[in-house]
Chains A and B, each alone.
Chain A
């Protein structure tokens, strides 16, 4: 608790708090204290710079997830962020709330334990495509079926970034990776199909370029009151992009801009290159 107050009220240029006491006063006596908060209060700035490569898409998701939570005015003490293992899995540790960084593939199982252990908590899971759709696929199938309330943000960079660039379940057919030197022989997993096969579902696809849409999707997901899955189209410059001939991160981002279009009212299903929300 003490920790939380100190971090929340750390004097910074945006809030202009002059002292810790001011902050405590505002916190307890000014009922609208959260108007003074910004997404920045949800992030552990003392841990920056992050472990991510310059230009990586994961940082964008970190920021917009924090923004989404902040704008929903969920008190920090009620938020728990859970991650699995991978570059994306490092996200949890940068949130200035209680956070868990568990085993590769098991984020959902641990998150379900957290939620069922204390239903007051708002649980947000941030992890990678390999983590959630590969090694953790079985848990995704069943946690979504049980419709446990949590918002799962899957950062899909179509690769195993952390381990150097191996084929992931979302790698597109034909893509060269360390474990598919001849090009991936398989079609990628259909996350939308998997999630929407549940009678009760919330599936959103967004991207690290379509930021407003990303934030809105996360907000809707968190507010749903059940299981929500948000696939965020991202990219990995260092362990995938360069091998594929991309010069830098903006080039990859630009491809997302060109390829994906938001469909504000999809009829039950999103096309392969559409972003939007499919829900019951």
Chain B
């Protein structure tokens, strides 16, 4: 059945479809609709005292046997970082949705942004390999919410689901029943019956092991290859080839929708799995282009990642400030391509 749905509701529906039966969260613009929607869906639902509680609570509920999720925006995401690291250490499947708004701090609460890209990759302290998805439509919010649960079960790690205020509040007609989906069942037995010890300390078979550097390296390698090999099965991206295009635009989330009218003259590479960066796919596709322009609503966070992977000059357009005018975006890309603008024209519009 076709219906008019909001991105935030679609994520919630995707989570329910994936088998989520526990949600904890704290209200924040522009993510609140997710929790409003889930408040009466017959699942275990907690409006917590803060985002720290929400994130720690889903660690507990996931371990006790329920697929679990929380949702927030920048300020709450910052509060959740320690628990995300805990989820990695304890190997807990859980999904954290961040509907991005303009930061830092309270910033511009009602305006969309893509400023939490690097936080999603490395927001918690220490080294870990984070899987991150970022949809660009209402349909994808549903589809990739399911995949986020699947990937978190398979990798036994927290998965971050990035959105932006725009995608979260986007209304589109979709037919959810027509979207094919496979659901990965729970991969760890719920608490009870054993004598496992889950700890945030480095541990070997549940016994803290905090002075063994060799074991740390061995453990880290194991964790890293686990996340990488699982994420290989979730290598989602979109590639739109413009005939004779010599420039590749890289964009994601709402920006990838805004640049669509330019595709033809330009090509578009849109990562959906933002992290680990789709290195193989990127290298292959980028090799056919003279120029690469990353267009994003931040000060070049993903551009740095692309440069790191491709080891070549990459240009960028930074659309900060929360407003998104397709004409301006078009002009900037054109200006950059014909040499009238420099990379990073952040100053004036």
Residues of A in contact with B (beta carbons under 8 Å apart): 1, 3-4, 7, 44, 47, 76-78, 80, 82, 85, 92-93, 95-103, 106, 109-118, 120-121, 138-139, 141-142
* Alpha-carbon gap, A112 to B24, bound state (A): 11
* Alpha-carbon gap, A84 to B83, bound state (A): 12
B64 near A101 with CB under 8 A, answer: no
B191 near A80 with CB under 8 A, answer: yes
A110 near B190 with CB under 8 A, answer: no
19 CB-based A-B contacts, threshold 8 Å: A3-B195, A4-B193, A47-B207, A77-B194, A99-B198, A100-B63, A100-B90, A101-B201, A103-B56, A103-B82, A106-B56, A113-B22, A113-B24, A113-B56, A113-B60, A117-B44, A117-B64, A117-B66, A138-B53
B267 in the interface (beta carbon within 8 A): no
A contact residues around B57 at 8 Å (CB): 109-110, 112-113, 116
- Most chain A CB within 10 A, of B44, B49, B60, B90, is at B60
B195 near A97 with CB under 8 A, answer: yes
Residue of A nearest to B21 (CB): A117
CB distance from A131 to the nearest CB of B (A): 13
B56 near A110 with CB under 8 A, answer: yes
B192 in the interface (beta carbon within 8 A): yes
CB distance from A99 to the nearest CB of B (A): 5
Residue of A nearest to B206 (CB): A93
Contact among B48, B83, B198 for A142, CB-based, below 8 A: B48
CB distance from B196 to the nearest CB of A (A): 6
A92/B53 contact (C-beta < 8 A), A113-B22, A113-B59, A117-B66 known = no
B28 in the interface (beta carbon within 8 A): no
A82 near B60 with CB under 8 A, answer: yes
Residue of B nearest to A108 (CB): B53
A102 near B66 with CB under 8 A, answer: no
B195 near A96 with CB under 8 A, answer: yes
B137 in the interface (beta carbon within 8 A): no
* Alpha-carbon gap, A17 to B148, bound state (A): 49
* Alpha-carbon gap, A85 to B50, bound state (A): 20
Contact among B60, B197, B206 for A114, CB-based, below 8 A: B60
A103/B86 contact (C-beta < 8 A), A109-B52, A116-B46 known = yes
A contact residues around B65 at 8 Å (CB): 117-118
A138 near B49 with CB under 8 A, answer: yes
A102 near B63 with CB under 8 A, answer: no
* Alpha-carbon gap, A96 to B82, bound state (A): 27
CB distance from A194 to the nearest CB of B (A): 14
A contact residues around B63 at 8 Å (CB): 100, 113-114, 117
B83 near A3 with CB under 8 A, answer: no
Q: Which B203-225 residues have C-beta < 8 A from chain A?
A: 206-208
A contact residues around B48 at 8 Å (CB): 109, 142
B contact residues around A113 at 8 Å (CB): 22, 24, 56-64, 68
B110 in the interface (beta carbon within 8 A): no
Residue of B nearest to A51 (CB): B208
B196 near A98 with CB under 8 A, answer: yes
A114 near B191 with CB under 8 A, answer: yes
A98 near B200 with CB under 8 A, answer: no
CB distance from B158 to the nearest CB of A (A): 14
B contact residues around A80 at 8 Å (CB): 64, 191-192
8 closest A-B pairs by CB? A113-B60, A117-B64, A117-B61, A113-B61, A109-B56, A113-B57, A101-B199, A110-B60
Contact among B60, B82, B83, B199 for A111, CB-based, below 8 A: B60
Contact among A78, A92, A112, A138 for B50, CB-based, below 8 A: A138
* Alpha-carbon gap, A3 to B199, bound state (A): 18
A117 near B195 with CB under 8 A, answer: no
- Most chain A CB within 10 A, of B49, B190, B201, is at B49
Residue of B nearest to A7 (CB): B195
B193 near A77 with CB under 8 A, answer: yes
* Alpha-carbon gap, A224 to B299, bound state (A): 55
A contact residues around B61 at 8 Å (CB): 113-114, 116-117
CB distance from B50 to the nearest CB of A (A): 6
A92 near B197 with CB under 8 A, answer: yes
B contact residues around A141 at 8 Å (CB): 49
B56 near A1 with CB under 8 A, answer: no
B contact residues around A106 at 8 Å (CB): 52-53, 56, 82-83
* Alpha-carbon gap, A77 to B189, bound state (A): 13
- Most chain A CB within 10 A, of B65, B193, B197, B198, is at B197
